[in-house]
Amino acid sequence: MSVVDDATRVESLSVLSRFRADFYDCLPARADTLFDLTDAVLCAEGPVTSLVELSLQSNFRRGHGALYDALARGAVDEERLRSLLVSQLPDEPLMFGVDASTYPRPSAECSPGR
């Protein structure tokens, strides 16, 4: 591994670390548990089907009672979170690739009246 690769990796981890710290600051009440809950959602394998399932994730370091308490009494500073997320957008215009080709799907159901 080259020095350039190491520098890039360090910079990437630094950016991620700053984002996580700023995200934590967006949680004025029950921050520790809500932060762990966010990690559990992001690290869960496959779709999340229940809150109890999240409390069993290895990176959720609290019991299921804390999870429900955080959801009931926790808070998110929405304005601060919105600003944080917008600050992560790239400076260039967003470009999305879309497959607009027509592909016959004879067994697909359509909306009524279409």
pLDDT digits (tens), the chain, 114 positions: 566 678 888 888 999 999 999 999 999 999 999 999 999 999 999 888 988 888 888 889 988 899 999 999 999 999 999 999 999 998 888 888 887 777 776 776 776 665
Rounded Cα–Cα distance for residues 52 and 67 (Å) = 9
Domain ranges of the chain: 3-87
Tell me if the pTM is above 0.75.
Answer: no
Rounded Cα–Cα distance for residues 103 and 91 (Å) = 35
Q: What six digits make up the tokens of 36?
A: 């762990």
